[in-house]
Amino acid sequence: MSTIDADSCKVDVMDTIESNNYNIYFQNSLSELASFVEKGGYSRFFILTDENTAKYCLPLLRERLGDPDNFDIIEVNAGEESKDIDFCIGVWKMLIDFGADRQSLLINLGGGVISDLGGFAASTFKRGIDFVHVPTTLLSQVDASVGGKTGIDINSIKNIIGTFTQPKAVFIEGEFLKTLPSRQILSGTAEMLKHGLICDAEYWNQLKQSDLTTPADWMVYRSVAIKNAVVLEDPNEKNIRKSLNFGHTIGHAVETYSLINDKDSLSHGEAIAIGMICEAYLSHKKSSLSAEELTEITQVLMNLYPRYNLKTADNTTLIDYMLKDKKNQNGKINCTLLSKIGQFNIDNICTEEELIEGLNYYANL
Amino acid sequence: MSTIDADSCKVDVMDTIESNNYNIYFQNSLSELASFVEKGGYSRFFILTDENTAKYCLPLLRERLGDPDNFDIIEVNAGEESKDIDFCIGVWKMLIDFGADRQSLLINLGGGVISDLGGFAASTFKRGIDFVHVPTTLLSQVDASVGGKTGIDINSIKNIIGTFTQPKAVFIEGEFLKTLPSRQILSGTAEMLKHGLICDAEYWNQLKQSDLTTPADWMVYRSVAIKNAVVLEDPNEKNIRKSLNFGHTIGHAVETYSLINDKDSLSHGEAIAIGMICEAYLSHKKSSLSAEELTEITQVLMNLYPRYNLKTADNTTLIDYMLKDKKNQNGKINCTLLSKIGQFNIDNICTEEELIEGLNYYANL
Ligand SMILES: NC(=O)c1ccc[n+]([C@@H]2O[C@H](COP(=O)([O-])OP(=O)(O)OC[C@H]3O[C@@H](n4cnc5c(N)ncnc54)[C@H](O)[C@@H]3O)[C@@H](O)[C@H]2O)c1
Ligand SMILES: NC(=O)c1ccc[n+]([C@@H]2O[C@H](COP(=O)([O-])OP(=O)(O)OC[C@H]3O[C@@H](n4cnc5c(N)ncnc54)[C@H](O)[C@@H]3O)[C@@H](O)[C@H]2O)c1
Ligand SMILES: [Zn+2]
Ligand SMILES: [Zn+2]
């Protein structure tokens, strides 16, 4: 059982957060980016966008950077498909064609797809060029842009290839969230609720009383502070970083399943919300989470997220995905569970029967 | 101008060499591998081979490991083509299909192609699994397996994608060289001669009097010791590691050219030997290498390596490749030169005219 010092994440002023040798900027963040670009001594700049961020976010970025002409834009399709290795090869080839050298900087302007793809492409191009993140979805602001994980997919196996590489800086600008569809907002909210559940009961209580369709700046800040504190304490995922996996053992399997089977597939957060409900059930069954807490978590999440039709027949497929998950080894499936709201415990081996019980708890709600 | 302490590389017993958190074994190296495998706590083992090492080297390895059955073999074609991203995707997919988890070990059994490809594939699979090298060519023993560079090619652009990741150990076994064709031996010899030229005149003098078609164990050991000392002092190639680029600015361009244009393309060492002659010329012209030393270097290399027909018409193509080389920035071409035999100086910007003069020196020999 472990906790992180949640009090260290309670701050009134949204000061710059120091991470693993780089800064996460909140105030005047695009001006900070402009000065980073100006002072960085880079030879060339590249901005990675997808169709949507090219349309909704790039104009503001260009304006704040003084509409420079020494930028080349690399645009990919919107959506998880762009994390496929084929798109990554496309990004590498564009960098080659544009003549990127080792002193180039890649600016990842977009959601988690862009930061994961761009981070991986940059961390391996010419054995590594610098990159920064300008996250434009709530999910990427509170989660994907912090912690140094990069990743791409092969055959829809998520993040099967990747590196641990830190960005040179992260610039968080609330303005970008204004054009984000509400479904994407809620995708990020799931991670914020997770941050409360695993290590900050006060934050959870505040969130559950707030209007989460338009999250306030301070919430983004608090979530980033929590995630950053966790990854700083355990960069290589030996112990407490595993707390962030709460909801993700089952959630990832559901996400993969939906990606393959549904036309309009679940967002990451929607899948993780389902995973958190199932794993809260397991926390009650296998750890000390009380029945009242399980009910509370279930209700908050079911109120926010649409019900998903989990068919019993698919349970074996889901278990199969869990076994293939890189976090699970030797055919054993590992969950992070809650001992109470605001406190987690890691490395709980769950049997297939238990996991199916968790899935059924959700299916029968 | 810099030197490394060559005396520190002179050793009588071929003791294990300590590198960046890992060991390079020489004596009973396959028994050392067997005990590494036994004690490592790995869940699964994979051996990456090419057609030739599967035939010539795998039987010995299996025997020394006690012909285990918990190994899966991943075999690629022999030759540089296997460093293409498409083969790398093939390796990743095999690891997925074989069910490799994060506790798996990849054993790279082969030349520089296998260690570069396997090192890259492992360093990015599930954000990094352990790998070791069992180098089976002279080139990979004295060069590719030491220093932590991994790399693959895209569109024949060599090592355009890669990481800096150290193996967990390197096991050097002289026995493997017995089946290696003499042309491949000479490919490795070029790097050994380079080690003498850049920082160990005594070693150069010994090598030039030896029969280099069957290099002795002590030579391999001395070369590894030199390369290791250099990379340990400067892991990120800020300064003295650049000494290892002697011959490589021009040599790499010639190698790429030959790869694209020749049916029977130059080996790495053959290309680097040409590069060293051209850059020795530049060392005489731009640094303090004497005319006698230039002649000596030219003669030793011309005696060992076949003459290659460099056409003047191709000079611009070669310059173009040099400009695209990841080591060159901002359109400036950088060479490591010799101030005398056994002493280098780095960061010499060479003009296109000078480089063409160097190429012409070789062409007119
Ligand atoms: N590296 C990590 O630690 C980490 C953590 C969590 C999730 N992830 C990854 O992140 C990805 C999911 O992230 P995501 O939800 O941000 O996905 P995403 O990048 O696909 O963004 C979601 C959608 O929002 C659009 N969009 C982005 N910004 C917009 C804006 N400002 N206005 C309007 N539309 C906008 C995008 O075009 C896309 O259609 C997954 O691939 C997941 O694996 C990584
Ligand atoms: N990472 C580094 O620091 C570094 C340094 C130098 C070179 N390299 C890379 O190394 C590669 C060249 O290495 P290489 O010359 O070893 O190439 P290679 O791996 O292609 O081996 C050369 C040939 O020898 C065969 N072979 C290997 N072992 C044999 C054996 N014991 N008996 C018979 N045949 C055998 C191979 O099948 C191949 O046909 C290049 O791609 C180069 O970029 C990397
Ligand atoms: Zn998540
Ligand atoms: Zn070389």
Q: What is the DSSP string of A287-303?
A: S---HHHHHHHHHHHHH
Q: What is d(CA B178, CA B184) in angstroms, rounded to the nearest whole number?
A: 11
Report how far apart the first and last C-alpha atoms of chain A are (Å, whole number).
Answer: 29
Nearest CA in chain B to A325: B101
Which ligand has an atom closest to residue B273 CA? 4
Instruction: For ligand 2, pick from B29, B139, B266 the residue to mutate: most ligand atoms within 8 Å of CB.
Output: B139
Point out the residues of B that are catalytic: 127, 149, 191, 227, 237, 241, 245, 248, 252, 268
CA dihedral (B161, B165, B166, B168) positive or negative: negative
Q: What is d(CA B119, CA B121) in angstroms, rounded to the nearest whole number?
A: 6
Mean pLDDT of chain A: 93
Q: What is the pLDDT of residue B2?
A: 45
Q: What is the pLDDT of residue B326?
A: 75
Phi, psi of A161 (to 5 degrees): -120, 135
| A 172-231 → B contacts, CB under 8 A | none
Structure tokens at A220: 């983004």
- Give the SS3 label for residue A341: coil
Q: What is the pLDDT of residue A11?
A: 54
Nearest CA in chain A to B236: A127
Q: In the predicted model, is pLDDT for residue A207 greater than 50?
A: yes
pLDDT grade for A325, boundaries at 50, 70 and 90: confident
Q: In the predicted model, is pLDDT for residue A2 greater than 50?
A: no
Nearest CA in chain B to A151: B127
ipTM over the 0.85 cut-off: yes
Contacts with A128 from chain B: Cβ below 8 Å: 163-164
Q: In the predicted model, is pLDDT for residue A298 greater than 70?
A: yes
pLDDT grade for B243, boundaries at 50, 70 and 90: very high
Contacts with B123 from chain A: Cβ below 8 Å: 163
Q: Which of B92, B102, B330 sits opposite A326 (nearest CB)?
A: B102
Q: Which domains are delineated in chain B?
A: 6-179 (3.40.50.1970), 182-363 (1.20.1090.10)
* pLDDT tens, position by position, A267-276: 999 999 999 9
- State the maximum Cα–Cα separation within chain A, in Å, rounded to a whole number: 60
Q: In the predicted model, is pLDDT for residue B7 greater than 70?
A: no
CA-based nearest distance A43→chain B, Å: 7
Structure tokens at A285: 């069954």
Q: In the predicted model, is pLDDT for residue B185 greater than 90?
A: yes
CB A335 within 8 A of CB A282: yes
Q: What is d(CA A207, CA A198) in angstroms, rounded to the nearest whole number?
A: 14
* pLDDT tens, position by position, A87-132: 999 999 999 999 899 999 999 999 999 999 999 999 999 999 999 9
A138 ligand 1 Cβ < 6 A: no
pLDDT grade for B11, boundaries at 50, 70 and 90: low
Q: Which residues contact A43 (CB under 8 A, 6 or more apart)?
A: A101, A103, A104, B329, B330
* A332 interfacial to chain B (CB closer than 8 Å): no
Q: Which helix (H) or strand (E) holds B159?
A: strand B157-161
Phi, psi of A204 (to 5 degrees): -55, -45
From B273, B51, B265, select the one nearest B179 (Cα to Cα). B51
Q: In the predicted model, is pLDDT for residue B10 greater than 90?
A: no
Q: In the predicted model, is pLDDT for residue B3 greater than 60?
A: no
Q: What is the pLDDT of residue B1?
A: 37
Identify each DSSP E strand in chain A by its residue range: 17-18, 23-25, 44-50, 71-76, 104-110, 130-135, 152-154, 157-161, 169-171, 333-340, 343-350
CB atoms within 10 A of CB A223: 28
Q: What is d(CA A196, CA A226) in angstroms, rounded to the nearest whole number?
A: 9
pLDDT grade for B170, boundaries at 50, 70 and 90: very high
State how far the alpha carbon of B72 is from the alpha carbons of B75, B91, B116, in Å. 10, 12, 19
Q: What is d(CA A301, CA B212) in angstroms, rounded to the nearest whole number?
A: 72
A263 HSE (CA, 13 A, CB side): 0
